[in-house]
Structure 1
Amino acid sequence: MQSFDVLNINEIREYLRDPIEYMNKIFNSSLSVYIKSLVNSKLCEIDNYYKNTIEGLTNAVSKLSSLFDPSKEYEQLQLSSLFNDLPVDFSKILKDVNNLLGSVTIKKPVDFCDLLHKSLKNIQNIWTDNEKSESKEKMFMYLEAKLVYWNKIGCSARCPLCSSKCELPDDGHTKHQVSKHLLSAFSGFRDVKTRFPTLIICTEDKSYNSKWGCDKDSIYLPLTEFLSKYHPSWLPFPRSEPSDEHIKKMRAIWWKLKDELCEEYSMIDNTDPLWKFKYGNLISE
């Protein structure tokens, strides 16, 4: 309902036309921003991990290389011995390599360290040039598939008097809830005889003092009886006088949309002309 608070008339028009479609649009837009932010954050973490790990390993290998004579061959030096001279953190990283190739003899450890330097640089280049973009695409696909099932849109039920969408999650609840109701005329309620729009907010005392009906039945009933007969899941229905600010916003919206709403719902506009001066300038297209 943020669009109503900021009086964004185009967003309000979309909401009144189809609240579910509008919420889907908002959800998908927010989801796209969230996924992009999350993926970029994770990729940044991986970038830093690669950078710090490669730099650390490179420095460690350089120090390891300096322990040996480049002109000398070592007959009994095993790869596992080299790994044991690395810092503990890097020994853990190379644990699988050590288990598989630890018994291999390294005759020229300095040459081996030079080769390891080049390999480490290649690993970082492979990530930057290829794997990063592939990982980004896979993360997007995974998150889109995963998050689309999050229940952000919630219950699809709409208030039978003003069409405001239920705010509760789609969790199987049996009683619907809306914190801010709208003018009943927004959903086409009008006087059955005059066809004048019902310009009251459906939780007002005036609503309880009025009679309500639908196309299914020619009998018009007091509010609670009407809801009990046709829309019991909306009982108990709130009864409260809306704030002056909320009334002002609803009337400003009505003044802006009244022509198209009257045409859509076959209502005859009898809006107080003074509303133009009180509320007509509160919203700009």
Structure 2
Amino acid sequence: MTKTMEIFIDALLGSDDTERALFLKWMGLKMDMRSRKHMSNLRRKYKECEQKKDREAIARLDKELLDSSLGIEHYMREMGQIYEAASFGSNKISDKISSLPTLAAKLLLAGFPIELLDGDASNIPEKWNYKDHEDEVTDEDLKADFERMWTQEMGNIPGLTEKDVPCDVLMNFRSSFEHRNVTQYLQTMGKLTQYGKKQFKAKKEHVKLGKLKGLIYAHRSVKHDLQNTADNVISSCFKMTEQFAQSKGDYQTAFTKDLLDEINEHLKKAGTNYDTKFEFDLKLHICGIASRKFTEMHRKYLAEQDPLKHLKKFKSQYLSDFIDLYRKRDQCHRKAREFTQVCLNPAVTEYIDQSIGPDIVDAVLKKHPTEYSSRVLFQYTIQKELLEKSNFEDFNRYILQYNDYVKEWIYNRIVKCFSKDISLQNIKMKKLDSIMQKIMKAMEASKVDGNGSPLPNNERGAKTLIQNFCKSMNCDISISMKKVKQVLFQNTADCASFTKSLYECIEEMKIQLKDEISNSDIKETLNNVSVKPQSMLFKRVFGCGKKCPFCKTPCEAEGTDHQQHHAAVHRPKGLCGSRNDNVLCEEICTSSVLGNRTFKNQETDFEPQLYKDYRKYYPDWHIAPDMYIEASDYWKYVMVTFNKQFAECYKAEQAVYPDEWKKITKEQVLISLKKNILNIKY
């Protein structure tokens, strides 16, 4: 192809109909002007040469006249010659040359002449003129035509607009302080998404003590409590955020409101000795984390719901439909396979993931029936593991963040069970077999109409078959009817052939799902299930969740429906930060409530109160006074082993305990644990 023709063709292909027409008109005028300028002079010379009978001059002038009469039609003829030449042989035609017939057709429709017969050579370029004839069209030609149509149509489809999620989170954050004077804090605020990247720290300005402002102990105690409150709130809200973000839907304003409500619930239990600045900073920290997570969630949703992306998923299917429709081919088996892969397979997978939660719980309980049979036995299992690991951070979290520690422990326990002892694949396979039986029954029932008569053996019958099937399975699995319509678009198969192919493809799908199940991962499964096994087990063994106000020992009363909280064995109070004159306290609650010792905290406005009068402040707790009850060897051992770490954690002096505590061994601790928790005598 010459450089001139390449420029000419590129100009036509790279412009729309209006620009193309303007270009050709302009080019035609320019060429006409050039011709007029030279033609009159050449004709005069030609007549003179004829009179002189100068044959050589006449031949030369003939060529010059031809060159001067160059017009648009000559370029059109050259396009045909280029295409005709490129069509011979086995070489693949480039996309540019392949598009020339379509371009010529558009020019013809726009009123520009196209040469069908080369008068000079008495030749009809068949490939050029009959390119669109059915016998001459290859799949590559159809694919090229489809690609051009696809590109043009895709350019007309708008994408989804991304919403400003951080702005929405910020609006809810500001609303949570409505009618409260936080203007000075808002004015110094930075960008919301930058908050929550570092660990939250309770600060001096977060503490509100009023008339007790000068008490160092009160300030230190409240600050420590606020830090614990913040840690618990952040942990709880982070898990809520993760749960929201893992859902398949879009971000909702309600997510942020739920987080703020969760924060408010925790703050109600935190007393009144905190400043508005604490609440502001804590909410800002959590909303900063949430704004980033929710933005990721929203963008992921947009990417999944983007109409362009959805269309691209079905591009190969539409191309096949386009070619099959042109060739008038039977689409039966391909349509059946697409229905099972695009519509049925995801629905079955979702069914297994969403319904397997209770089965996982049953498997865990069957494997470990003892540790989950009661709250007491569950506590024994956890405390025994804590003892074996002997890690201070674990003990500290267990004491101060009991709820979160237990939830995480159960989750890890499930993962461990299914990584070693229990086959997740077997459980999923049972689910698959169950749903496949229902699918086959639904297929049989779908082959007849409402009167029990066989469906007509035509396209309408095939469509009714799928509609009946989806309706029959509606109670068990959720099949996207939108996808069904997309898949069955232009389905021309008769009902009998389509049904036969569908049975074959369902069997293929079952084999495929079995292969996928063989590679199942327990962590991924736990994230996908709607009913979380870890939550079910947690509710089973957690109890009411209330803790002793002095030593943080969990209530041992079974269930949640009880009026009085109690614990048979309490811990040394110093394990949770209680102190006497800044020395960690080794005494347990049952001894404290018997004597004349005093306590002071936020509930008492840091005024000393007798332990024996604790019910004035904690009426729902019953602590039996008994001077002969000692702390269990378990917690004595913990205090001795980690005395220094607890003191550093609470910024206090180490506890002073009896020398006998130092003699306690791990073996004795285990016996004590069984004795006090399992009531087993040795």
Q: Pick the TM interval, shorter chain.
A: 0.5 to 0.7
Structure 2 match to 1:197: 584
Q: Residues 166-223 of structure 1: CA distance to partner in whole angstroms, max 9, x if unpaired?
A: 356895755333344211121222334xx443323323x46422423113333231x3
- Say if 2:408 is the partner of 1:25: yes
CA distance in 2, matches of 1:247, 1:29: 28
CA 1:41/1:169 → structure 2, altered by over 3 Å: closer, same or farther?
Answer: farther
Give distance in 1, aligned partners of 2:529 and 2:646.
42
Q: Distance in 1 between matches of 2:435 and 2:576?
A: 57
- Percent identity reads 14
CA contact (8 A) 2:593 2:623 kept: no
Q: Report what 1:13 is aligned to.
A: 396
Query: Would the alpha carbon gap of residues 253 and 168 (structure 1) be closer, same or farther in structure 2, given more than 3 Å must change?
Result: same
Mapped contact 1:255–1:279 kept (Cα < 8 A): no
1:174–1:40: structure 2 CA closer, same or farther, 3 Å change rule? farther
1:230 alignment partner, one of 613, 617, 626: 617
Q: Give the match's secondary structure for 1:23.
A: helix
Residue 503 of structure 2: aligned partner: 120
2:574 is aligned to: 185
User: Which is bigger in relative contact order (C-alpha 8 A, separation at least 6)?
Assistant: 1
Local SS of the residue matching 2:662: helix
CA contact (8 A) 1:182 1:250 kept: yes
Aligned match of 1:251: 636
Who is 1:263 aligned against?
Answer: 648
CA distance in 2, matches of 1:268, 1:132: 59
Figure out how many residues of one structure are paired with residues of the other and give that number. Answer: 235
Answering whether residue 528 of structure 2 is matched by residue 141 of structure 1, we say yes
Q: Could you tell me how far apart the structure 2 residues matched to 1:50 and 1:241 are?
A: 62
The equivalent residue for 1:175 is 564
Following the alignment from structure 1 to structure 2, what is the Cα–Cα distance between the partners of residues 170 and 220?
Answer: 31
| Cα distance in 2, alignment partners of residues 180 and 160 from structure 1 | 14
Q: Which has the larger radius of gyration?
A: 2
The answer on 1:97 being equivalent to 2:484 is: no
Contact 1:162/1:186, CA 8 A, preserved across alignment: yes
CA deviations on 1:68-89 (whole Å, 9 max, x unpaired) are xxxxxxxxxxxxxxxxxxxxxx
Unmatched 5+ residue regions in structure 1? 58-89, 106-111
Aligned twin of 1:165: 554
TM-score by length of 1: 0.60
2:599 to 213, 236, 249: 213
- Following superposition, the deviation at residue 162 of structure 1 comes to 0.7
CA distance in 1 between partners of 2:506 and 2:634 (Å): 60
Answer whether contact 1:213 1:220 (CA < 8 A) is retained: yes
* CA RMSD across the alignment: 4.7
Cα deviation code 1:127-155 (max 9, x no counterpart)? 33269869x88996342479758872554
TM-score, normalisation: structure 2: 0.28
Query: Residues 83-122 of structure 1, C-alpha deviation per residue, up to 9 Å, x if partnerless?
Result: xxxxxxx7x86122133761657xxxxxx99997765342
Distance 1:269 1:220, change over 3 A: same
Alignment partners' CA distance in 2, 1:40 and 1:264: 45
Contact residue 163 and residue 187 of structure 1 kept, 8 A: yes
| Runs of 4+ deviating beyond 4 Å | 30-42, 49-54, 112-119, 130-134, 136-140, 144-151, 167-174, 239-244, 280-283
